[in-house]
Structures are given as C-alpha cells and as structure tokens.
Structure 1
Amino acid sequence: MKGVIAVLVVVALAVAGWFIYLSQNSSSEENTQVPVITVMEILHASDLQEGIKDAVSENDQQAINDWLDKARHVGEQAALSDSDTAYLASEQAREYVIFNAKRALFNEKFETRYLNLRGIDDLKQAYPEARDLFPRAETLLQKRDDIIERIAQTLAGTEAPDEEHIREAQTMWKARYLERQQEPPASDTDAG
C-alpha cells in the first residue's frame, strides 16, 4: 500500500510540475509583444513607396537612406524581431524598394507616353526592372495606334487617310481617352 501511495505522490507532483511549466510558458508568451505590422507592410506603405520613388527619380541616395531609416524606426517601434529589423537595414531591402520604385516610375512614364501618343523604347532602356511589363505596354500601344488608324480611315472615307486625318484621329482619340479617365467608376449599386 505504501508503494501505491508513493507512486500516486510522484504522479501528482509530475502533473503539478507540468501545469506549472505550462502556466509559466503561456505567461511568458503573453509578455512577448506581437508585432502590429510586418516588414512587407512597412516596405509597401504608400508614403514610403512614394518617397523612395521620388528619391530614385531624383537620384537622391541620401533621401533613399532617410526613408529606409524611417522604415527601420517604424520596425523598431512595432517591436519587430531583430532579424526583421536587420533586414530593414540591409542592402537587400534597399535594392527591393529601389526595384519597386523603378517599376512604378516606368508605369507612370508609360501612362504619360500612352496619352501623348509616344513610344517607349527609351523607357525600356531606362527601366529594365520593368521588363516583364514591356509586352503588355507594347500591346496597349499597338491597340491605341490601331484605334487611331481606324478613326483616321473613317474620317477619310473611301480615300487613304492623310496626315490631316491622322492628326484629327489622334485628337479625337486623346479627347475620348481623357473623358473616360474622368468618368467615375461604375459601382454594383448603379445596376439597379
């Protein structure tokens, strides 16, 4: 009988020890701060991206450093892990935000070129980071030019379009494009 009581006491102590361990482990997890933001959320914040884009456009290395310092400060304030904070200070993070800024600059400059009826060969040279966007951009330019050509053909009637028809078609296309850009987007509630 004493053996059974001794085994029960050992088991009770083991169970009590296990519960103490679990309660200490869970309370230490509660004391650990969980970051309220991630590294990618910091790097994709609109103000950071806009600031980096402006700095890249101006080739202002100090401004890029300043924006990355701000990102690192946000990471520290958000209680990111040491490895995440170190990443924000790394050359990889710098290259990442510059790469994304150059792609954004390509997109902006493409939109201007598209509207102003210009090509993008020099943009492709200036922003190789946007290489995967080139085919889609070229397709949009070709569609734009095809529409202008059809408008010019309509204006010319049965004749071949001349320079005047083409200029008029370009003006009409541009006016319609700008008009569409100013239209509010259709919402689901407009249907009925």
Structure 2
Amino acid sequence: MKNYIVSGIKLTLVCIVFFAGIYTLVIWGIAQLAPNKGKGEIVEYNGKSYYANIGQSFTEPKYFNSRPSAVNYNAAGSGGSNKGPSNPEYLAEVQKRIDTFLILNPGVSKKDIPVDLVTASGSGLDPDISVQAAKVQVNRIAKIRAIEPEKLNQLIAENTQKPLLGLFGPEKINVLQLNIALDKLQS
C-alpha cells in the first residue's frame, strides 16, 4: 500500500512539473514564433482595434449579421448555451432569431435561412459565417446601402476563405473583415 502512495505522489509531482512548467513554456515559445506572437489576429479600423478571430456583434441592418453568441461575444466567457435541441427555451430563442431575420429580410423564406445565422457556435465566439449566410443577406444590404447586388456578391467572393488544403472544413467568411470591406466599398 505504501509503495502505491509513494509512486502516486511521485507521478503527481512529475506531472505538475511537466504540464504546469515544461509544456506551458514549450507552447508559449511556439506562440512567440507565430504572427503577432500568439495574441490573435488584430485588425485596425477607424482608430479601433478588433480581434478578427473572435466574433463581433453586427446587428445594424446595413451590415452582414454575425453568428449569434451564447456568451454575448465576451471572449472571457467562451461557451455554448448547453441547451439541447429539444429544450423549449432554446427553441423559443431560435424561433425569435428566425422571426427577426425574416422581418429584416423580406422576400427570404424560412427554409432559406442558414442554420449559422440562428444558432450559436460551441464557443459562442465564432467570427465566421457560411457563404450561404452572407448571400441570403445581400438583398437587404443592397437596398439599404444602394449598392448593386452583383457588387456585394463579388465582395463575398473576394472575402471567402477556402477550406484548409482545399479539403478540410467548409468555405467561410470572416464577418468583421467582410463588413470592413463593405464600408471601404462605399467610401
């Protein structure tokens, strides 16, 4: 019994030194080699700094809407809602988002709304939307900003990020960068 306790204490100490010290320093060192020294992708626009890799709230009708956030876009509290797809509160929240979207986007039917515009991601901080989510908003933005829909579709195409190595993951669009490009298009 004594041997097991001593062995357990030794293993615990080795793990503490390795995972709290060595592993942490190795990961920190690798981050120092990355662009911006592991502090994320910072975008400067109109005198403000934004993190392009953290979702931002865009609710004005003249902008492409972001994916909803379960944590109100607070990077300090990343997380999902933890409500299942049959939870009445969750279903009511999603239905409210669908109804709001349909009011702001007349001519779009419920079946045409991409899921990423009405459901939050697992982290609640996803900065990206699908290409379909951007395209379904084109008519609203074109009308409000008096821009031809073709120009908006071209802007979407220019800001579409392809899958990693052409295989892994879907095409996606960073909403912050798309909305900055949209503002620059009009200025």
TM-score class, shorter: under 0.3
User: Which structure carries more helix by proportion?
Assistant: 1
TM-score when normalising by structure 1: 0.24
Structure showing greater radius of gyration is: 1
TM-score when normalising by structure 2: 0.24
User: Which structure carries more strand by proportion?
Assistant: 2
